[in-house]
Amino acid sequence: MNRTENISNNSARLTIALCGNPNSGKTTLFNVLTGSNQKVGNWPGVTVEQKTGFYKQDKGVAIVDTPGIYSLSPFTVDEQVAHDYLFGGKPDLIINIVDSTNLERNLFLTTQLAELDIPMVVALNMLDEAEQKGIHINTDKLQRRLGCAFFSISAAKNIGVDGLMKYCITQKPAQRIPLRYLARTESTLNAMMSTLNVPNKRWTAIKILERDKNFIKSVKTDISKAQSIADEYFRQNPSLSSTDIAEQRYAQIEKIVSDCRTLAVRNVKENARRITDKIDKIVLNKWLAFPIFALIMTIVFYVSVGGLGEWLSGLISERLTPFLQQTVSGWLKSANAPWLSSLVVDGIMAGVLSVASFVPQIMLLFGFIAILEASGYMSRIAFITDRLLNKIGLGGKSFVSMILGCGCTVPAIMATRTIKNIDERNATITLTPFMPCSAKMAIISFFTAKLLGGNAIVAVSFYFVSIVAVILGGLILKVLHRKKNSANDTFLMELPVYRMPAPLNIIKQMWERGKAFLIKAGTVIFTASVLLWLLQSFDWQLHMVDADRSMLASIGKTIAPLFIPLGFGHWQFAVATLTGIAAKETVVTTLEILISEGMLASYVSPLGAYCFVIYNLLTIPCVASISASFTEQGNAGNGLLSMVFQLSIAYAVTLVLYQAGSLAVKHTAIFIITGCCMAIVLVLCLSVRYLAKHKGCNYNCSHCPHRAECAKK
């Protein structure tokens, strides 16, 4: 959790809320202002709850980063967070961050914010990009039209930010001028406002006129008079619908934009998207999209988990760790206390260093994920997977969570707040922990290097098994929910233009992830290592004994039989699956402490090792993630069901893999023949289905009952 998250802003003399569309640069500005390191990304859904920090140059000013919203009508949990904050948290001032390269769309929210009773200043962000694209915005004209002050800034390049803040802190923001609608609408609004006794009168009247049921329900005071005026308005103008105000708003924005913006090149708007469209033509192509995606992800994991990452990790585990252990062991010899040397060298150092050696791989993986996010490709991944995921009751937004889950399950679970459909959201929370988080990557690398021939393809295969588990889990959940229709959370994520990732941002995110991992190694893993050492060094009578007769061994031996059918029946492995609940890295730590160097292969076969990794990838996640799952599902029953589900899938998938794998090893020929037979049966089934579909029409589409479908294809 980030240090800025829970800071109370009660002590602040001035509270400023950063509001704007997703991707407009709110978090980037927040980081510049507070010196914090919140996650930024070129895709919506990165910030899902508000974060508070203090302005670096004046600690009396609190800055609140809110999730991105397109309008003030909330649809999803994160939009609700932003909405509730504005209406309930009462910031003293709003800085509305606007993407200057996308003025029309961003001004929709700006004009809505201007209708609230909260002072506002508008920051026209991405000045650098706008200049590059030949877009010039006349801030004076905008100021005259909308009343509030407009500042051109670049949050990423820290241009114009000081001027903006100086104005916010020292000047009293001018009165805003809300949009003027048509005369008939204005007079109705005025009549409604005179009957209302609520804050944000104009906004409330507009919402009543827009017949926004959720908003109307949330108003606590009597608004019946205003509602009858609205009803009368629609009676007198029967051709109007509840979208009338939005239409008038758009028309006005169009006029304002054409008055206040000049484009250096004709058709610059199209030019701005030209390169993006060119790239999208290839990466979103019907046939190329998935191969390109698979290729990119394989390269990412190949370089970070195998290749370079493995080489760097090897330097730490093979050179640095033995050197440090020998040095410390030498120092402790003089203390003449073998137990101390055992605790420090075999317990703490073996545990902590075994985990620390994975830092390079984790940092590399995060560097790649940060590049994919910042460039805008991550939104495309969500887009191309949306239709596919719909088939298993999930959507593109679930995929965003899954990708975040490759880093850490906790923020991934929180990112599900952008999902509107409750079933889809709970399913995503249950399935996201199947993705190999950075801690599980430690398990993958450890076993790949020690028992699976260091083969990077094997390492990548774990990611594919995780994806298969997500698909399988999604299908089962869909059947359990008996959903006739697939996910109905319409995919509304916009595809941002491609941007060159800022190297400094990438390095910052890599550093943050590496640091978080090291801090965990220094705290949770340190404590777990000490505890494990104690449990494996003493028996229940607290006598120092061999590991085989220790407390840990007796716990492990009780549950170990459960894992025999999965291929890892030794008690050390049983214990490792349990300690993994504290933090997944502890699985590796436990085995390093319990099994002497070089002896691992005598405890488990390569197939058993593979299955052990799979079981740990799919079983219940660490406590932090379990707690996030309970909180986000808002219901202990659902949280528990998720855990039972994860445990069952982990057990079933591993059981099938091990048993099928053992058969394949023993009876390779029979296995290949059975596999071929199954493939033939599958092809036959598909052909029969195809023929049945086209039966009686001789493939002549004009007679086929499915011709409409075919025509679409």
Binding site for Mg ion (CB under 5 A): 27, 46-47
Residue 499 sits in the site that holds ligand GDP (CB under 6 A): yes
Rounded CA Rg of the chain: 30
Q: How far is the CB of 272 from ligand GDP (least distance, A)?
A: 12
Q: How far is the CB of 515 from Mg ion (least distance, A)?
A: 21
CA distance 106 to 371: 25
Residue 47 sits in the site that holds ligand GDP (CB under 6 A): yes
Residue 40 sits in the site that holds ligand GDP (CB under 6 A): yes
Residue 94 sits in the site that holds ligand GDP (CB under 6 A): no
Q: How far is the CB of 499 from ligand GDP (least distance, A)?
A: 5
41 binds, among ligand GDP, Mg ion, none (CB under 5 to 8 A by kind): ligand GDP
**Using CB under 6 A, which of 4, 23, 409, 590 touches ligand GDP?**
23
Residue 126 sits in the site that holds ligand GDP (CB under 6 A): yes
Q: How many CB atoms neighbour CB 205 within 10 A?
A: 25
Q: How far is the CB of 49 from ligand GDP (least distance, A)?
A: 12
Q: How far is the CB of 31 from ligand GDP (least distance, A)?
A: 8
**Using CB under 6 A, which of 156, 253, 412, 460 touches ligand GDP?**
156
Structure tokens at 122: 């508008």
Are 7 and 65 in contact by the 8 Å Cβ rule? The answer is no
Angle 190-193-194 from CA coordinates, rounded to 5°: 90
629 binds, among ligand GDP, Mg ion, none (CB under 5 to 8 A by kind): none
126 binds, among Mg ion, ligand GDP, none (CB under 5 to 8 A by kind): ligand GDP
Residue 129 sits in the site that holds ligand GDP (CB under 6 A): yes
CA distances from 682 to 475, 562, 671 (A): 19, 34, 16
Q: How far is the CB of 498 from ligand GDP (least distance, A)?
A: 10
Residue 42 sits in the site that holds ligand GDP (CB under 6 A): yes
Nearer to ligand GDP by C-beta: 32 or 353?
32
SS3 219: coil
**Using CB under 6 A, which of 365, 374, 583, 595 touches ligand GDP?**
374
What are the phi and psi torsion angles at 699 (to 5°)?
Answer: 60, 15
Nearer to ligand GDP by C-beta: 374 or 588?
374
207 binds, among ligand GDP, Mg ion, none (CB under 5 to 8 A by kind): none
436 binds, among ligand GDP, Mg ion, none (CB under 5 to 8 A by kind): none
**Using CB under 6 A, which of 24, 110, 204, 586 touches ligand GDP?**
24
Q: Which residues lie across from 477 on neighbouring strands?
A: none
557 binds, among ligand GDP, Mg ion, none (CB under 5 to 8 A by kind): none
Are 42 and 374 in contact by the 8 Å Cβ rule? The answer is yes
**Site stretch for ligand GDP (CB under 6 A), options 124-132, 137-145, 519-527, 633-641:** 124-132
Q: How far is the CB of 697 from ligand GDP (least distance, A)?
A: 51
Residue 155 sits in the site that holds ligand GDP (CB under 6 A): yes
Q: How far is the CB of 439 from ligand GDP (least distance, A)?
A: 25
Instruction: Name the residue among 350, 356, 360, 354 with its Cα closest to residue 328.
Output: 350
**Site stretch for ligand GDP (CB under 6 A), options 7-15, 122-130, 289-297, 610-618:** 122-130
Residue 22 sits in the site that holds ligand GDP (CB under 6 A): yes
Question: Alpha helix locations (H) across 538-570?
Answer: 551-559
CA distance 63 to 161: 13
Are 477 and 429 in contact by the 8 Å Cβ rule? The answer is no
SS3 54: strand
Nearer to ligand GDP by C-beta: 496 or 567?
496
- Of 413-472, binders to ligand GDP (CB under 6 A) are none
Q: Which residues lie across from 89 on neighbouring strands?
A: none
**Using CB under 6 A, which of 16, 25, 344, 611 touches ligand GDP?**
25
304 binds, among ligand GDP, Mg ion, none (CB under 5 to 8 A by kind): none
CA distances from 308 to 191, 365, 373 (A): 69, 11, 21
CA distance 323 to 172: 63
Q: How far is the CB of 38 from ligand GDP (least distance, A)?
A: 8
Instruction: Name the residue among 55, 108, 437 with its Cα closest to residue 246.
Output: 108
DSSP 84-128: HIIIII--SEEEEEEEGGGHHHHHHHHHHHTTSSS-EEEEEE-HH
Cβ-in-10-Å burial (0-12, 13-18, 19+) of 689 comes to exposed
Nearer to Mg ion by C-beta: 44 or 433?
44
129 binds, among ligand GDP, Mg ion, none (CB under 5 to 8 A by kind): ligand GDP
Nearer to ligand GDP by C-beta: 375 or 646?
375
Q: How far is the CB of 505 from ligand GDP (least distance, A)?
A: 6
DSSP single-letter state for residue 565: G
Instruction: Name the residue among 112, 105, 104, 64 with its Cα closest to residue 85.
Output: 64
Residue 102 sits in the site that holds ligand GDP (CB under 6 A): no
Q: How far is the CB of 133 from ligand GDP (least distance, A)?
A: 10
363 binds, among ligand GDP, Mg ion, none (CB under 5 to 8 A by kind): none
Residue 590 sits in the site that holds ligand GDP (CB under 6 A): no
Q: Which residues lie across from 95 on neighbouring strands?
A: 18, 121
Q: How far is the CB of 120 from ligand GDP (least distance, A)?
A: 16
Instruction: Name the residue among 115, 99, 319, 107 with its Cα closest to residue 209.
Output: 115
Residue 4 sits in the site that holds ligand GDP (CB under 6 A): no
Residue 46 sits in the site that holds ligand GDP (CB under 6 A): yes
Question: Alpha helix locations (H) across 219-358?
Answer: 224-236, 244-260, 268-283, 289-305, 307-314, 321-333, 338-341, 350-356
**Using CB under 6 A, which of 16, 41, 145, 654 touches ligand GDP?**
41
Q: Which residues lie across from 51 on neighbouring strands?
A: 65
Which helix (H) or strand (E) is 151 found in, with range?
Answer: strand 150-152
Strands 135-137 and 261-263: antiparallel
Residue 68 sits in the site that holds ligand GDP (CB under 6 A): yes
Q: How far is the CB of 389 from ligand GDP (least distance, A)?
A: 23
CA distance 356 to 324: 13
Are 173 and 150 in contact by the 8 Å Cβ rule? The answer is no
Residues binding ligand GDP: number (CB under 6 A): 26
CA distance 415 to 77: 10
Q: How far is the CB of 81 from Mg ion (least distance, A)?
A: 12
Residue 367 sits in the site that holds ligand GDP (CB under 6 A): no
Nearer to ligand GDP by C-beta: 504 or 692?
504
Length of the chain: 713
Instruction: Name the residue among 66, 29, 68 with its Cα closest to residue 165.
Output: 29
DSSP 168-196: HHHS-PPPP-PPP--HHHHHHHHHHHHH-
Instruction: By CB under 6 A, name the binding residues for ligand GDP.
Output: 20, 22-28, 40-42, 46-47, 68, 125-126, 128-129, 154-157, 374, 499, 502, 505
